[in-house]
Structure 1
Amino acid sequence: MFKRALQKYAKHSYFLAIGLFYSQFASSADINLVLEDQHGQKLSGAVIELINASTHSASKTLPLAVMDQVHKQFLPELLVVQQGQQVNFPNSDNIRHHVYSFSQAKPFQLRLYSGQPKEPITFDQQGVVVLGCNIHDSMVGYIYVASSESVYKSDKKGLISLTLDTLPAQVSVWHPLQTAPLENKKIITINSQKQLLVTVNTSSPAPRNTFGSKFKAGND
């Protein structure tokens, strides 16, 4: 009788383990986020980051990212990197630039140079870094430094597809043209596997003849 009871317990434990496995698998969800501005226009270049996701492992080597300077513009205008990642700032123009940032997440400067700077810059603190050129005030660029590996950028149709291990989940939303201060991130909670519409209030980009308030204290 004891043997039969033991077999029954083992069988129950087996099915319980299988049930737990499939319940965890079923909890994962493929989510489509659609980003729009307050006028219903699809919003490209929005950054979505999963909150409380696994952070970058110190043992993992991150590739060297590149923020180029072409035709007196930063290319790309928005670069997304991981915390601790290095960024190279080549100058592909035939004139010199002086790249710098006052942002709290990474204040730095690359004094007047052409071609290749001496060494890349390490972005070791999460946040938003606004870039400028001390010679050409019309140049403005952004580096979004993510604290997790689960970070995405919306495409031209304002679409982001992501896979979440569990629901509900929280994500942060940021865009360089948001009306909220640049250091702010909008927090939303995803509760279902349905397509989710996310609205970000934006303002039209100001004429680029000055950095203006983008470099005031508090904009990190």
Structure 2
Amino acid sequence: MFTFPQGQRVAHFAAALTVALSSTHVLAFKAQVRDQNGAPIEDAVVYAVPIDGRLPHTRPAPAMIMQKNKMFMPLVTVVQKGASVDFPNHDDIGHDVYSFSDPQRFELKIYRGASHPVVFDKTGVEVIGCNIHDTMIAYLLVVDTPYFAKTGHDGTATLPDLPRGSYRVLAWNYRQHDLDARSEQTIQTPAAMPVTFSLQLDPR
């Protein structure tokens, strides 16, 4: 049986490894989200869903939405379906946290300090409030992918760990008239970046 000399075997192995790694190489993906006037949108969510349906077998990362100074912080949170979310109360008064949204109706009766985590096992938008303080509001977007990010002041979102492949990339913001609306593009990574989305927002 013919065998490669030692040096050639190493070279062939290195070449094969390079090809294997390049096929799944993880990339940073950037998107910009702007409104109908071209202004950047802060707190928009951008998420990527693999067209082939393949997702990493990892446990969804937990999240936290705290209450402080009679406000929810952060205003917008995004998690993968199946994630648990804590709602700690850092005020010196009680809060009663609830949501009547279809994906997951829940209520955390008046409490201070730590909360019982809530697991969100359906996708969609959760509008979260306080039964005692009507001005308190937060938005939780539950998505079926671990590849997501929020935009900053400049309207840019960066998904740092997006493997090569084909994706449906969607953008969402809580100021849209229809909370279930998405702007969607199909992309192949690596893609020319940033990819730009335009959302129609209601006036503040």
Q: Is the 8 A contact 1:168 1:189 kept in 2?
A: yes
Question: Any conservation in 1 of the 2:35–2:41 contact (CA below 8 Å)?
Answer: yes
Q: Confirm whether residue 203 of structure 1 aligns to residue 197 of structure 2.
A: no
Query: Given residue 120 of structure 2, which amino acid in structure 1 is its aligned partner?
Result: F
Per the alignment, residue 173 of structure 2 pairs with 175
- In the alignment, the residues of structure 1 paired with residue 142 and residue 72 of structure 2 have an alpha-carbon distance, to the nearest angstrom, of 17
The answer (yes or no) to whether the contact 1:54–1:148 under 8 Å persists in 2 is: no
SS in 2 for 1:94: coil
Contact 1:129/1:143 (8 A) holds in 2: yes
- Equivalent position amino acid for 1:110 in 2: L
- In structure 2, the CA distance between the partners of 1:30 and 1:97, relative to structure 1 (3 Å rule), is closer
C-alpha displacement of 1:24: 5.4
Letter in 1 for 2:105: P
Unaligned runs of 5+ in 1: 8-13, 206-220
AA aligned opposite 2:41: L
- Give the unaligned 5+ runs of structure 2: 5-11
* d(CA) in 2 for partners of 1:156, 1:89: 25
1:75 to 51, 73, 76: 73
Aligned residues: 192
- Residue 123 of structure 2: which of 103, 121, 126 is its match? 126
Q: CA deviation at 1:194?
A: 3.9
The structure with the largest alpha-carbon Rg is 1
The aligned residue for residue 212 of structure 1 is: none
Q: Distance in 1 between matches of 2:119 and 2:193?
A: 38
Matched AA of 2:66: D
Q: TM-score, normalization: structure 2?
A: 0.78
Q: Residue in 1 aligned with 2:9?
A: none
> Partner letter of residue 121 of structure 1?
V
1:183-202 pair list within 5 angstroms? 183-190=180-187, 192-202=191-201
Across the aligned residues of Structure 1 and Structure 2, the Cα RMSD in angstroms comes to: 3.1
CA distance in 2, matches of 1:47, 1:63: 16
| Greater share of residues in helix | 1
3-state SS in 1 of match to 2:103: coil
DSSP 3-state at the match of 1:176: coil
Matched, 1:48 2:85: no
Deviations 1:66-117 (A, max 9, x none): 1111111101111122211111111111221111101111110011222223
Letter in 2 for 1:150: Y
Match of 1:143 among 135, 140, 160: 140
Deviation at 1:204, TM superposition (A): 2.7
Q: Are 1:110 and 2:119 counterparts?
A: no
For structure 1, which segment, 62-71 or 37-46, has the greater mean C-alpha deviation from structure 2 after superposition? 62-71
Q: 1:25 to 1:44 in 2, by over 3 A?
A: same
Rounded Cα–Cα distance in structure 2 between residues aligned with 1:26 and 1:112? 48
Q: Percent identity?
A: 30
Q: Equivalent residue for 2:7?
A: none
